[in-house]
Structure formats: C-alpha cells, structure tokens
Structure 1
C-alpha cells in the first residue's frame, strides 16, 4: 500500500504496513491538512482517531510514517526533534508505526509550518 504526500515545495511517497491505523488512513484518503514542524518532524491533523496500537513507540528511525493519537496526526520524523537524545527521532509520545517514506526522508525538510499538505493514494 503506497501513499503520496505533497506540499508546495515537493512530495514523497511512502509504503504502509498492514496495520489497523494504516487501513483507517487509506479508507479516509484523500486527506488535506495544514503542516506543522517540530524540530526535524512534520506533523498534521488527519481528522482520524485510531486507538494506540500494542507496538506503539516514541523512538523511531528517520523516515518512519507514524500516527500520533493525542493530536489525531500523522507524524513524519526525518531527524531529531526537541525531545531527542542525540540524533534519534523521538516523537512527543508513543505513536502507531504505519510504514516508511520511500527514498530520502530529508525531502521533508522543505515543508514549512502552515504549508498545505495532501495525502492521497499513490
């Protein structure tokens, strides 16, 4: 399952795993939102409210596609956040892991807070 995320300065695709949250996201596509940044992470409200999954975690790899339940948001870390220890991407709290950005996740560095962002099936 692939999705495409686009914003004014670029786009990336991502491959999603077979998880309940990924299925909920796919069923809701397309999703249009407003991007926010937090260190080297892009996040945005999806309007979805899935439950925290058993394998949710805070520390992930750069390029992880995660869902942050407290914010109903997709969280896309590509480097350290204000809560990181060293170079790890550390999310604000435990997140459901949905998949991974295809290619270089640093492409997300061109997203600016306030940018319109769209998620659709690839």
Structure 2
C-alpha cells in the first residue's frame, strides 16, 4: 500500500481487511492473558501495542480511500512497530531466567552428595 503508484484492488483490500480482523479476534484473548498474568508494565505495553495496531489499521483504511493520507499511515505503522518492540522487550525481560554460575547450571539437576565423589 505504501509503494509509489501502488494500486490495491477493492477486492484485495477487503480480503486483507477481513484477514486483519480475524487476526485481531485471535489477539484479544491473548491480550487478556497478558493483562491477568502481568507484570503491570508488560500488560500496559501489550495494551499500547494492540491499540497501535488498531490505529494502524484505521489509517490503512483511510489511505485506501485517500492516497494523500499516506504520511499518517506511515506514522501509525512506525508507532505500531515501536509499541510492538517495547512490548517484546518487556515480555523478554519478564520471562528471562538470569544465568547462574555456569551456562547449563539450573538446567540439570544437581547430583546427590553420594554421587559427586
């Protein structure tokens, strides 16, 4: 949609819009889980990413009707990418297990004292 002189047929656009709505429908239950599980920072960033995705979709729809609104769509797309990156960073920080003394330590059960000799 953002390439110069890109002309997207109405049929192609409507198909893509339906696909996007179906993916959003899959997103909402997952968003609820993030909000329940937390932490609060990750939940807030997940909400921001979802809202940015909806805003990007609205700007894509507007641009389909009015090609002069392309800068708004590009800005919304950049905002969505940033919101997504922020959420992913927080999610990674949440699930990261700090490394202990050794690379594999914590992955293997320690040996009982009688087997260490």
TM-score range, shorter chain: under 0.3
Instruction: Report the structure, 1 or 2, having the larger helix content.
Output: 2
Q: TM-score, normalised by structure 2?
A: 0.21
For the pair shown, the structure with the greater C-alpha radius of gyration is: 2
